[in-house]
Amino acid sequence: MSEIRIDALLPGEMATRAEYLGVRKAEMPALTMFTLAVLAGAFISLGAIFATTVSAGGMSVTAADGAVAFNTGLPYGVTRLLTGLVFCLGLILVVVGGAELFTGNNMIVMAWASKKVSTYALLRNWGIVYVGNFVGAVGTALLMLASKQYVFGANSVGVAALKIAVGKTSLDFWQAFALGILCNALVCMAVWLTYSARSTMDKIVAIIFPITAFVAAGFEHSIANMYFVPYALFIQMFDPEFVASVAEKVPGLEKLTWSGFFLNNLIPVTIGNIIGGAVLVAAVYWSVFLRNKDK
C-alpha cells in the first residue's frame, strides 16, 4: 500500500508541484482556458463587491494623493483589515472553485524557466487569461449596475464605489506601478502557499493573510481594478442623476475617466503585477529549488 500523507508539502515539493501545474495550465485548450478566465474575473469581482459593501458608509478621499481613507468610527487599520478579509472571497473561489487568474498564473514562469513550457505557451496563457478576466470583471460590473445595489445603504455603497475608483484613477504611473509590484508579490505568495496544501481548508487558510495584507495596505491588483473602476464608470455613464446627487461626497470625481483607468492604473498596475509575481516570487523560488534540480 502506498503511504498516505496529511502533512503539508515542503518548499522543494511545492516547487515541483508549481512546475507541474504550470505545464497543465499552459497546455489547456484555449476555449477551456478562456471560460475559466471569465469565471476568475467574476470571482475576483465578487470579492470586490463584498469589500465595497463592507467599506461603505464612511469613506473619504485624501486630497493630497487620492488615497482612499475611511471614517467608520473604527480605526483606519481595523476598517482596512475587515475590507481585506472579505476580499479574500475572490481568490478562495478561484483556487478552490477552479479558475484561471492572470496574476496567479504569473507562477507559470517556474515551468517556463525549467524549459517545460515554451515562451509562446506562456504568453498564450497570459493573453487569453487576461482578456477572459477582463470580460468576467466587466460583465459582473454591468450585472451589478443593473441590480442597482449601489443605492443600498442610503446610497453609501455607490458613494464607496465611486470613491474607490477615483482613488485608483488618481494615482500617477510610477505609484501605480510600485503598488502593483507589491500587490502581486503577496498574491503569488498566497498561491505559492496553497501548493503546500493537502486539503481545502489548508488552501483557504494559506490565502487569507497575504490577500488581507495587500488589500489592507492599499496595493493595486489589475484584475480587481477591472471591476472596481469600470463599475464606477458605468454608474457615471448610465445613472448621471445618481452621480449628481452624491457628487459633493466624492471629491475628485473629474479624475474618473476611461483614459485615467487605462493610463494611470490598469497599464502600470499590470506591468507591476507581472514583475511582482513572475520575478519576485516565481523566478526566485525557481532559482532556489529548481535551477539545479537535474544536477
Q: Which of 273, 59, 114 is nearest to 178 (CA)?
A: 273
Q: Smallest Cα–Cα separation from 234: which of 152, 162, 156? A: 162
Nearest to 171 by CA among 68, 247, 51: 68
CATH number for region 11-289: 1.20.1080.10
> What does each of the 295 residues of the chain score in pLDDT, given as a tens digit?
455 566 788 999 999 999 999 999 999 999 999 999 999 999 999 999 999 999 997 544 443 444 555 455 678 888 899 999 999 999 999 999 999 999 999 999 999 999 999 999 999 999 999 999 999 999 999 999 999 999 999 999 999 999 999 999 999 999 999 999 999 999 999 999 999 999 999 999 999 999 999 999 999 999 999 999 999 999 999 999 999 999 999 999 999 999 999 999 999 999 999 999 999 999 999 999 998 876 5
Locate the domains of the chain by residue range. Answer: 11-289
Rounded to the nearest 10°, the torsion over CA 250, 255, 259, 261 is -50
The answer to whether residues 17 and 9 touch, using CB atoms and an 8 Å cutoff, is yes
Question: What's the pTM value of the predicted model, to 2 decimals?
Answer: 0.92
Select from 206, 244, 217, 248 the least CA-distant residue to 91. 206
Specify the long-range contacts of residues 20-23, CB closer than 8 Å, at least 24 apart: 20/111, 21/107, 21/111, 21/195, 22/107, 22/108, 22/109, 22/110, 22/111, 22/112, 22/116, 22/117, 23/111, 23/116, 23/117
Strands (E), 75-192: none
Residue found by looking up cell 487558510 in the block: 205
